[in-house]
Amino acid sequence: MPLNHYITLGRSGLRVSPYCLGTMTFGEDFGWGASPEASFAMLDEYRSRGGNFVDTANIYTAGHSEQIVGDYIKQRALRRDELVLSTKFYCNLFPGDPNGGGAGRKALIQQCEASLQRLQSDYIDIYWLHNWDRNAPVEETLRGLDDLVTAGKIRYVGFSDIPAWKTAQAQTIAAFRGWAPIIALQLEYSLLERTSEGELFPLAQEMGMGIMPWSPLKSGFLSGKFRRDDGGNVDTRRSGLVGVPSPADYAVIETVSEIASALNVSPAAVALTWVRSQPGISATLIGARRLDQLKTNLDSLEVTLSAEQLARLSEVSKPTLNFPADNNATLAPMLAFSGMTVDGKTIPAFTPHSS
């Protein structure tokens, strides 16, 4: 699948590349990112392959990431409309100011204006609520976002890292009020983090939201640089933030590496291919600190996994889900349709244990 085989994001008319270029690494302000020059090179590579979707956030390198993206658009003299540019709000860049972050009307409008200045753009394509503000009424947030859509400052609304029940409430209110809907969810998802399958995946599919996984390589754990026998002692400037794999993680990591060796591709390519093969996935967020890492990730679009390989990866990484997700997926169908085939799926027979 080439990068320019575009996908419609959620229940919207927005077409995006299957891989979205995440820019959390743009800027060296936090001690481990990419320089502006290296960031420009990654943007050039992504665009040269047909990519059109770039994602950032106000908190990424304290605003420098947004500034780098804005500088790139200006210095490369790009037609702004050819890019789908998204950023996020919620995080506070002004310590001591209770309205410097969060999702109240005052906060979200000032954050939007500040992001537009750094991005050097008149509008943002997707404006993501980065986290749940428990102290702001969701109606206030949704109305503020709808006003920004009406004003032409944002085009679409997205949610990131919000509980499923809160997202469902918000989408229902938006539909009832005729406000701009939530078209997509950003959530952590990888072979080492699959618990969102319990509530968030069914929610997104039921309510017309695209799913955009972030950290599909689990902070590099699935990139191939971690091996059980070296104790996870990998030289990385981000180790203080992300830690190292747990003993249980290595069963998944080793399976990924075995399949990668059989296919003569990188472990990262296998992990990314599994993610984008899952039902409900729209665009997957990929990020890199170096150009060679980005090229490797983009190359994974040419990788295909067999049904057996996909099943093997799914089995070794099978998550334990919160109640009632597992019960609803396994026991409940048997109680209702024991042994029957419904909608093309055969339900196992329910056989009560004898007393």
146 lies in some domain: yes
Collapsing DSSP states into helix, strand and coil, what is residue 33? coil
23 lies in some domain: yes
Residues 6+ apart with CB under 8 A from 192: 218, 221, 222, 245, 249, 252, 317
User: What type of residue is 347?
Assistant: I
Let me know whether 146 and 230 are in one domain: yes
Q: What is the pLDDT of residue 355?
A: 41
CB atoms within 10 A of CB 54: 24
Give the burial class of 274: count Cβ atoms within 10 A of its Cβ; 0-12 exposed, 13-18 middle, 19 or more buried: buried
Q: Which residues of 280-291 are buried (b: 16+ CB within 10 A; e: fewer)?
A: bbbbbbbbbbee
Residues 6+ apart with CB under 8 A from 275: 189, 190, 191, 213, 216, 281, 284
Q: What is the pLDDT of residue 328?
A: 85
Let me know whether 172 and 217 are in one domain: yes
71 lies in some domain: yes
Tell me the per-residue pLDDT of 66-122, one tens digit each, with 9 for 90 and over.
Answer: 999 999 999 999 999 999 999 999 999 999 999 999 999 999 999 999 999 999 999
Let me know whether 279 and 342 are in one domain: no
Q: What pTM was computed for the model?
A: 0.93
Render 42-110 in DSSP notation, one character per residue.
HHHHHHHTT--EEE--TTGGGGHHHHHHHHHHHHTT--GGGSEEEEEE---SSTT-TTSSSSSHHHHHH
Let me know whether 283 and 220 are in one domain: yes
CA distances from 109 to 64, 82, 104, 147 (A): 19, 25, 8, 10
Let me know whether 196 and 341 are in one domain: no
Token representation of residue 4 = 């320019």
Let me know whether 104 and 236 are in one domain: yes
Specify the DSSP element, H or E, that contains 5: none
Let me know whether 341 and 251 are in one domain: no
33 lies in some domain: yes
User: What type of residue is 256?
Assistant: V
Let me know whether 192 and 233 are in one domain: yes
Q: How confident is the model at residue 325 (pLDDT cuts 50, 70, 90)?
A: confident
52 touches 17 (CB < 8 A)? yes
Token representation of residue 282 = 């729209």
1 lies in some domain: no
Token representation of residue 91 = 């995080």
At 269, which CATH number?
A: 3.20.20.100
Let me know whether 41 and 106 are in one domain: yes
Tell me the per-residue pLDDT of 220-250, one tens digit each, with 9 for 90 and over.
Answer: 999 998 888 765 555 555 556 678 899 999 9
Q: Assess whether pLDDT exceeds 70 at residue 15.
A: yes
Collapsing DSSP states into helix, strand and coil, what is residue 183? strand
352 lies in some domain: no
Let me know whether 158 and 238 are in one domain: yes
Query: By residue range, what is the domain housing residue 177?
Result: 7-316
2 lies in some domain: no
Q: Assess whether pLDDT exceeds 80 at residue 352.
A: no
Let me know whether 148 and 283 are in one domain: yes
Number of domains in the chain: 2
Token representation of residue 32 = 């481990």
Least confident of 11-20, 58-67, 226-235: 226-235
Let me know whether 114 and 217 are in one domain: yes
The residues pairing with 160 across neighbouring beta strands, listed in sequence order, are 186
What is the rounded average pLDDT for all residues in the chain? 94
Residues 6+ apart with CB under 8 A from 268: 217, 222, 223, 224, 296, 297, 300
Share of the chain above pLDDT 90, in %: 83
CA dihedral 93, 97, 100, 105 (to 10 degrees): 170
Separation between Cα atoms, residue 93 and residue 134, nearest integer Å: 19
Separation between Cα atoms, residue 16 and residue 352, nearest integer Å: 49
Give the sign of the dihedral formed by CA 185, CA 96, CA 94, CA 215: negative
Q: What are the catalytic residues?
A: 60
Q: What is the pLDDT of residue 43?
A: 98
68 lies in some domain: yes
